[in-house]
Chains A and B, each alone.
Chain A
Amino acid sequence: MNMLERFFRVIGSNTINRVWRLGFAARFFIALLAHSGETFRRPRLLLRELYASGVLSLIIILVSGLFVGLVLGLQGYDTLQRYGSSEALGILVALSLVRELGPVVAGLLFASRAGSSITAEVGLMKATEQLTAMDMMAVNPLARIIAPRFWGGVLSMPVLAALFTAAGIFGGWLIGVVFIGVDEGAFWAQMQANVNFVDDVCNGIIKSIVFGVAVSLIAVFEGFDAVPTAEGVSRAITRTVVTSALAILALDFVLTSFMFRGL
């Protein structure tokens, strides 16, 4: 009986804890938005974060995009040529990258490359009491530390997703046209005829913006909320990557069901 009681107690306290954290995260988000003014008044702060989360993620994003495109080209060609429609390779590569793979895979990579480093940085600042020290010097850490990192992530994510998509389409072209020998004109013409700018490209960009907000918010929040010990920071980093991945995939399903209904 005692064990059963303890079992329910653990479930209950975990549930309450999660709901409490969710409420705290929402309050944190609103406070973060309220203190964002300084980030845009002092572009130097923002520029540093754009460099840290955008420029430093370039290599992994471009190389992964290229390889995803190469694989899509090979797999797509293998399937399409069974039905004698290998010219449709361009549509397959472009639509799957623009609509889904571009924003989602770039978001996952961004969470593990930039999100984890933001959490580590903020969490370590908290563990070494730098955030408290700032507060003592009447510098609001939310405006000085958190907001620039958040906006740096939000602004660089759509750019990275667009680059991932472009690199992937280049990879598909490389395999399809250069190595296998699909007709180049048909490859681009079919792609252009079937990819719509508003419905496909813009929706992909909207997705990447939403993922950018989600990943950046999770990263700064987990860092800010980390238990200020070495173990606590390492747990916070793990939580950032796991929660971001789940958030991206869940949000992707919700957004897709709004955007693409097959009309």
Chain B
Amino acid sequence: MNRKVMDLWVGIFVVIGFAAVLFLALKVSNFSASSFATTYEVTAKFDNIGGLKVRGPVKSAGVVVGRVSAIRFDPQTYEAHVVLKIDSQYQFPRDTFASILTSGLLGEQYIGLDAGGDETMIPAGGTIAKTQSAIVLEKLISQFLFNKASEGKKDARAE
């Protein structure tokens, strides 16, 4: 085969190979979304994190503003320390409320940030004081059953 033609084919091979890797990086995986330019870390303490995982999203008003970077257990206070990496273009007030929410009925868990009204912002490395733990389905059901049972008693007394 002619050398020029062979070079051309190898060139085409390399180009479509790069195109395939680019497609895998940009269209198939979250390469563009996961790499925030600069981030700062904030710690939040939860009584129960449920099924939250490292790399889970941190959302405010439904928009992804950061990711969970580490989860630790504190043996002194028996709480979970969750380290959040938040995009530095977003600042949150000191009295921001962090809660663990679930997307969909059985979907993945994420941290929702509800901004407060404080005028000072959370500094880098700061902590979020107000948190709400994950809702554990079993606890919710048993609570509901207890309430029903006590309602039943009240009704019985009233009669």
A-to-B contact residues, CB < 8 Å: 47-48, 50-51, 54-55, 58, 94, 98, 156, 158-160, 162-163, 165-166, 169, 188, 191-193, 195-197, 200-201, 205, 263
Complex: chain B residue closest to A160, CB-CB? B17
Chain B residues in 8 Å Cβ range of A200: 29
Complex: chain A residue closest to B57, CB-CB? A193
Contacting A at CB under 8 A, from B24-82, are: 24-25, 27-31, 33-34, 53-55
Which of A51, A158, A193, A263 contacts B54, CB < 8 Å? A263
Given A162-B21, A165-B24: A51 and B30 within 8 A (CB)? no
Chain A residues in 8 Å Cβ range of B137: none
Beyond A163-B16, A191-B28, A201-B28, 4 additional contacts (C-beta under 8 Å) are A48-B6, A55-B13, A163-B20, A195-B30
CA distance A195 to B34 in the complex (A): 11
Interface size bracket, B side: 20 to 34
**Nearest-CB distance from B15 to chain A (Å)?**
10
Chain A residues in 8 Å Cβ range of B17: 158-160, 162-163
A192 touches B29 (CB 8 A): yes
**Nearest-CB distance from A168 to chain B (Å)?**
11
Chain A residues in 8 Å Cβ range of B141: none
Provide a sorted-by-A list of 26 A–B residue pairs whose CB atoms are within 8 angstroms: A50-B10, A51-B9, A51-B13, A54-B10, A94-B28, A98-B24, A160-B17, A162-B17, A165-B20, A165-B24, A166-B23, A166-B24, A169-B23, A191-B28, A192-B28, A192-B30, A193-B30, A195-B29, A196-B34, A196-B55, A197-B30, A201-B24, A201-B25, A201-B28, A201-B29, A263-B53
Chain A residues in 8 Å Cβ range of B31: 197, 201
**Nearest-CB distance from B148 to chain A (Å)?**
29
Q: Which 8 A-B residue pairs are closest in the complex by CB-CB distance?
A: A159-B17, A197-B31, A166-B20, A162-B20, A197-B29, A195-B29, A55-B9, A163-B20
B20 touches A47 (CB 8 A): no
B129 interface residue per 8 A CB criterion: no
B124 interface residue per 8 A CB criterion: no
A55 touches B10 (CB 8 A): yes
B-to-A contact residues, CB < 8 Å: 1, 6-7, 9-10, 12-14, 16-17, 19-21, 23-25, 27-31, 33-34, 53-55
A51 touches B34 (CB 8 A): no
CA distance A191 to B23 in the complex (A): 13
B24 touches A159 (CB 8 A): no
CA distance A160 to B30 in the complex (A): 22
Which of B7, B13, B21 contacts A156, CB < 8 Å? B13
Given A47-B7, A51-B6, A162-B21: A188 and B27 within 8 A (CB)? yes
A50 touches B13 (CB 8 A): yes
B30 touches A196 (CB 8 A): yes
CA distance A193 to B16 in the complex (A): 25
Chain B residues in 8 Å Cβ range of A169: 23, 28
**Nearest-CB distance from B6 to chain A (Å)?**
5
Chain A residues in 8 Å Cβ range of B33: 192
CA distance A47 to B5 in the complex (A): 12
Chain B residues in 8 Å Cβ range of A58: 13
Chain A residues in 8 Å Cβ range of B53: 263
